[in-house]
């Protein structure tokens, strides 16, 4: 009897423990179902990217209730850690098998060699893999050895600069093979770790990622995942490592305060313009004054500085930190032409400005030179007399001088255009696109004129017209900026 009682007690205890474990899963399912229903009511199925928006709402909902007590003994965060692992069979989701391209790794190790034996072995391995269960690497090594006179340690194959510390041309094929196998395994392991880190950031609970032997395949299981396109983008995207040169932040501290004052002045000016345009009567004047005062109070005392939530360390590359929600506003402030003019100029930028000024000056001189040549041609044509024109050098000398000025202008304008692309990253936002387009048209006209002069001996009226067309393009691009923006582009 005592034994039966002990058995019943243990059975009841296990039953209670099982119910407790199942209760965590029940709590998680209930709260996640509530989150799903909440997202469905907030985001309509006809909305663009509704799946992503619903997932974001679900995560926000779950974060907001994660620490709220449920049934008095747990909460969502605690229950989520203790719920049963349902996996793909019970929860559904996405199952993916990725194949690492061993062929591309081999090409990279061989520095994309053009060695005929190496490339022939790769082609043979592609064909043999269709009917073999061996790994691609082993098939390649066997195919390479079957080619007469082939050496893995050849300077044209693996005894190159990349592997010079481990492989030399005196090694045999059997000595090189273990090194190649290790390099391939390291590459696959690296890809595996990258995928694992990406999946951990994906937000899926209890994912499964594992290598399938030495085949170069990686199994990925994402329980609960539904967005196939998002998963493909996550797993197939290529990472790019970029290096950027940066300035020290102490050189730009004064820029922030100066930019803040310029932005504040612009905002005040916009309010005044709006109030003036709305005035139509004495009553409207009074209402406009009230509106201006209320709007002025609503503007931040420091429209840019008030948005800063943090700064970088002294001498570092970070000048200021802003909330992501303020990104568009800060970008619009920084891209104002008046603000960008406040940025400290580097010696390279100064050289760009000097080249631009010299180019535009020479082009202006060339247009005046073309005008004088036109007057000389008219005097010769109509046999008229003008003391100023008569005192000029001969027409031949004037034309030679014109083309020398144009050639020098073309060189300086080329330097100005090419160097300008390194300093301006958003031509449209900075309202510089029309300047680049018109400057390029002027450059093209001069290039055509110089080519015609060299090949066909162009001169006279044709040279004058092309010179004036180039000058007009530059005048519209720089001197006539306001005219182009307001009347032609209507910006």
Tens digit of pLDDT for each residue in 368-377? 988 888 888 8
Q: Does 89 reside within a domain?
A: no
φ, ψ for residue 239, nearest 5 deg: -80, 145
Instruction: Give the residue-averaged pLDDT of 396-400.
Output: 87
- Residue 97 covered by a domain: no
CA within 13 Å, CB half, 373: 24
- On whether both 424 and 399 belong to a single domain, the answer is yes
Judgement on whether residues 356 and 483 belong to the same structural domain of the protein: yes
CA distances from 11 to 6, 8, 26, 190, 417 (A): 9, 5, 22, 48, 84
Q: What is the DSSP letter of 429?
A: T
Other beta carbons within 10 Å of 361: 12
How many independent structural domains does the chain possess? 4
Tokens encoding 386: 């003008």
Residues 477 and 380 in one domain: yes
| DSSP structure class, residue 134 | S
121, 95 contact by CB (below 8 A): no
| Segment 420-471, tens digit of pLDDT | 766 655 555 545 666 777 888 888 888 998 898 888 888 888 888 888 888 8
How much is the average pLDDT of 386-411? 85
- Taking alpha carbons only, the member of 359, 377, 358 closest to residue 465 is 377
Q: Are residues 163 and 230 in the same domain?
A: yes
Same domain as 365, residue 274: no
CA–CA separation, 205 and 62 (whole Å): 13
- pLDDT, mean over the chain: 78
Residue 253 lies inside a defined structural domain of this protein: yes
Q: Count Cβ atoms below 10 Å from residue 366 Cβ, excluding itself.
A: 25
Q: How confident is the model at residue 291 (pLDDT cuts 50, 70, 90)?
A: very low
pLDDT at 2: 55
Task: Return d(Cα 240, Cα 377) in angstroms, integer.
Answer: 61
Minimal CA–CA distance to 252: which of 345, 124, 376?
A: 345
> Once rounded to an integer, what is the mean pLDDT over residues 203-231?
78
Cα–Cα distances in angstroms (integers) from residue 465 to residues 111, 366, 375, 471, in the given order: 54, 12, 13, 10
**Which residues have a Cβ under 8 Å from the Cβ of 7 and sit 6 or more positions away?**
none
Q: pLDDT tier at 298 (50, 70, 90 boundaries)?
A: very low
Residue 318 lies in a domain: yes
Does residue 44 belong to any structural domain of this protein? Answer: yes
Q: Is residue 117 part of a domain?
A: yes
**Whether pLDDT at 393 is above 80:** yes
**Does residue 355 share a domain with residue 325?**
no
DSSP assignment of 155-211 equals: TTTTSSSTTTTT--TT--HHHHHHHHHHHHHHHHHHHHHHHHHHHHHHT-SS-EEEE
Query: Can you say how many angstroms the Cα of residue 444 is from the centroid of all Cα atoms in its chain?
Result: 30
Last residue of a domain, one of 58, 84, 110: 84
In percent, the amount of the chain with pLDDT more than 70 equals: 81
Contacts 24+ apart (CB under 8 A), 332-338: 333/259, 333/263, 333/303, 333/304, 334/259, 335/426, 335/429, 335/430, 336/262, 336/263, 336/266, 337/430, 337/431, 338/262, 338/266
Q: Burial of 181 by CB count in 10 Å (0-12 exposed, 13-18 middle, 19+ buried)?
A: middle
Mean predicted confidence (pLDDT) in 219-238: 77
What is the domain extent for residue 464?
A: 347-488
Q: What is the pLDDT of residue 37?
A: 87
Query: Does residue 410 share a domain with residue 327?
Result: no
Q: What is the pLDDT of residue 283?
A: 46
Q: Which of 236, 270, 294 is the endpoint of a domain?
A: 236
Instruction: List pLDDT tens digits, range 43-58.
Output: 888 877 777 788 788 8
Which of the listed residues 55, 84, 113 is the one where a domain comes to its end? 84
**pLDDT score of 289 more than 70:** no
Q: Stretch 240-256: mean pLDDT, rounded?
A: 73
Round to whole Å and give the CA distance between 225 and 231. Answer: 8
369 and 316 belong to one structural domain: no
Same domain for 469 and 403? yes
Q: Is residue 93 part of a domain?
A: no
Q: What percentage of the chain carries pLDDT values higher than 90?
A: 3
Instruction: Say whether both 325 and 352 belong to one domain.
Output: no
| Ranges 15-29, 123-137, 180-194, 421-435: which has the least confidence | 421-435
Q: List C-alpha distances in Å: 303 to 26, 148, 336, 338.
A: 50, 75, 14, 15
Closest CA to 434 of 403, 476, 399, 462: 476
**Cα R_g (the chain), whole angstroms:** 37
Mean of pLDDT values over 53-75:
82
319 and 416 inside one domain: no
115 and 22 both lie in a single domain:
no
Q: What confidence score (pLDDT) does residue 122 get?
A: 92
**Residue 470 is assigned to a structural domain of this protein:** yes
Number of other CB atoms surrounding residue 117 within 10 Å: 19
* 7-41 confidence digits (pLDDT tens): 777 888 777 777 777 787 778 788 888 888 888 88
């Amino acid at each position: 009897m005592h034994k039966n009682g002990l058995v019943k007690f243990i059975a009841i205890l296990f039953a209670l423990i099982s119910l407790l474990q199942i209760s965590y899963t029940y709590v998680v399912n209930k709260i996640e179902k509530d989150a799903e229903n909440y997202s469905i009511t907030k985001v309509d199925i006809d909305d663009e990217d509704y799946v992503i928006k619903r997932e974001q709402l679900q995560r926000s909902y779950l974060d907001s209730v994660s620490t709220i007590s449920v049934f008095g003994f747990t909460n969502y965060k605690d229950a989520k850690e203790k719920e049963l692992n349902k996996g793909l069979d019970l929860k559904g989701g996405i199952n993916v098998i990725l194949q690492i391209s061993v062929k591309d790794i081999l090409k990279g190790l061989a520095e994309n060699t053009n060695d005929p034996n190496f490339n022939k072995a790769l082609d043979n391995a592609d064909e043999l893999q269709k009917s073999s269960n061996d790994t691609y690497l082993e098939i390649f090594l066997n195919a390479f050895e079957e080619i007469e006179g082939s050496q893995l340690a050849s300077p044209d194959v693996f005894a190159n600069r990349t592997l010079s510390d481990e492989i030399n041309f005196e090694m045999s094929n059997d000595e090189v093979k273990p090194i190649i196998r290790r390099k391939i395994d390291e590459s696959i392991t690296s890809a595996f770790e990258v995928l694992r880190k990406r999946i951990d950031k994906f937000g899926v609970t209890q994912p499964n990622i594992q290598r399938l032997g030495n085949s170069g395949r990686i199994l990925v299981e994402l329980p609960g995942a539904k967005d196939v396109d998002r998963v493909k983008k996550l797993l197939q995207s290529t990472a790019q490592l970029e290096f950027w040169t940066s300035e020290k932040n102490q050189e730009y501290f004064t820029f922030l305060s100066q930019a803040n004052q310029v932005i504040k002045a612009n905002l005040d000016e916009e309010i005044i313009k709006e109030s003036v345009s709305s005035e139509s009567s004495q009553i409207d004047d009074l209402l406009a004054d009230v509106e201006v005062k209320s709007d002025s109070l609503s503007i931040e005392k420091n429209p840019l500085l008030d948005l800063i939530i943090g700064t970088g360390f002294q001498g570092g590359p970070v000048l200021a930190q802003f909330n992501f929600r303020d990104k568009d506003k800060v970008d619009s402030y920084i891209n104002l032409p008046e603000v960008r003019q406040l940025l400290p100029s580097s010696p390279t930028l100064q050289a760009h400005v000097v080249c631009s000024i010299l180019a535009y000056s020479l082009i202006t001189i060339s247009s005046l030179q073309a005008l004088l040549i036109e007057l000389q041609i008219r005097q010769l044509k109509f046999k008229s007399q003008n003391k100023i024109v008569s005192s000029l050098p001969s027409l031949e000398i004037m034309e030679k001088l014109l083309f020398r000025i144009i050639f020098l202008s073309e060189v300086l304008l080329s330097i100005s255009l090419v160097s300008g692309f390194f300093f301006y990253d958003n031509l449209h936002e900075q309202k510089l696109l029309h300047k680049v387009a018109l400057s390029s048209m002027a450059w093209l006209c001069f290039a055509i004129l110089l080519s015609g002069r060299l090949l066909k001996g162009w001169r006279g009226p044709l040279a004058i017209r092309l010179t004036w067309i180039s000058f007009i393009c530059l005048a519209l691009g720089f001197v006539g900026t306001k005219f182009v923006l307001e009347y032609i582009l209507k910006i």
